[in-house]
Copies of this chain bind each other. A is one copy, B any other.
Amino acid sequence: MSLDETPHAIAEECAPDTRSRILATAGTYFREIGYQKTTVADIARTLKMSPANVYRFFESKKAINEAVLERLIGESEAVISEIADRPGLDATARLVAAIETLHRDCTRRCETFPRLHEMIEAAMVESWDVCRHHVARITAGFERIIREGVARGEFEAADPVEAAACIHAAIARYTHPLLVGSSSLQPVPPVAAMTAFLLRSLAPRRPLS
């Protein structure tokens, strides 16, 4: 950082916009070049600003990664919320749709961006709060669907929070970029078979009268 490098007035005025542009550019680099090979200097150069200006908004590449991941997580969370709110579906159909959608989105992202897993790996090593936050938010979506199913007599779950956490953990093979990305050729049951298996776990113990 050179001392004579004063931020442009325009950046001062449009801080949210600059922040947003940094994240968009960083997101593109992380997905296409990979988290490891991307430098803050690359991001700054593309935006025609100094690295020092990037550091005014984010203290480190790690902090940029966390903000980029927050956006991605927000997208997944919005998808689950939309499904949980979708009218005309029972809880089983909502759970099936939520799992299928998470799986499809993750597979598509990993195929389009083969280096996506680097961002996730970096976060798993050094950004535990982001990971915890992600798990909590997606699991909350599942919990909402499970509680609704219990209320309708469609599901039985003594502890919907735990059931939601188990389902989220059980589908890691289908929705975790570390396993989906490099392992599309590994043998796993079709996601529909896995979902059916997990749904059996939520089925009421006695037949409905």
Q: List residues of chain A with CB under 8 Å of any chain B CB.
A: 121, 124-125, 128, 131-132, 135-136, 162-163, 165-167, 169-174, 176, 178-179, 182-183, 185-189, 193-194, 197-198, 200-203, 205-207
Q: How far is the CA of A128 from the CA of B132 in the complex (A)?
A: 31
Q: How far is the CA of A168 from the CA of B145 in the complex (A)?
A: 25
Copies of this chain per assembly: 2
Shortest C-beta distance, A196 to chain B (Å), equals 8
Interface of A is mostly: helix
Whole-angstrom distance between the alpha carbons of A174 and B29 in the complex? 32
Complex: how many Å from CA A100 to CA B182?
26
| Interface pair B182/A169, CB less than 8 Å apart | no
The interface residues of chain B lying within 8 Å CB-to-CB of A169 are 170, 173-174, 188-189, 194
Tell me which residues across on chain B come within 8 A of A173, comparing CB atoms: 169-170, 172, 176
A121 to B179, CA, bound (A): 10
A194 to B159, CA, bound (A): 12
CA distance A124 to B178 in the complex (A): 11
Contact A186 B128, beta carbon cutoff 8 Å: yes
User: Which residue on chain B has the smallest CB distance to residue A193?
Assistant: B162
Name the CB-closest residue of B to A164: B189
In the assembled complex, which residues on chain B have CB atoms less than 8 Å from the CB atom of A188?
135, 165, 169
Bound-state Cα–Cα, A194 to B168, Å: 10
Let me know if B166 and A135 touch, CB within 8 A. Answer: no
Chain B residues within 8 Å of A170, by CB = 169-171, 173, 194, 197-198
Q: Which residues of chain B are near A178, meaning CB under 8 Å? A: 178-179
What chain B residues lie within 8 Å of A187 (beta carbons)? 131-132, 135-136, 165
A186 to B48: give the CA distance in the assembly, Å: 37
Query: Can you list 28 residue pairs at the A/B interface with Cβ under 8 Å?
Result: A121-B182, A124-B182, A128-B185, A128-B186, A131-B185, A131-B187, A132-B187, A135-B187, A136-B187, A163-B197, A165-B188, A165-B189, A166-B193, A166-B194, A166-B197, A169-B170, A169-B174, A170-B173, A170-B194, A172-B173, A173-B176, A178-B179, A179-B179, A197-B201, A198-B201, A200-B200, A200-B202, A206-B206
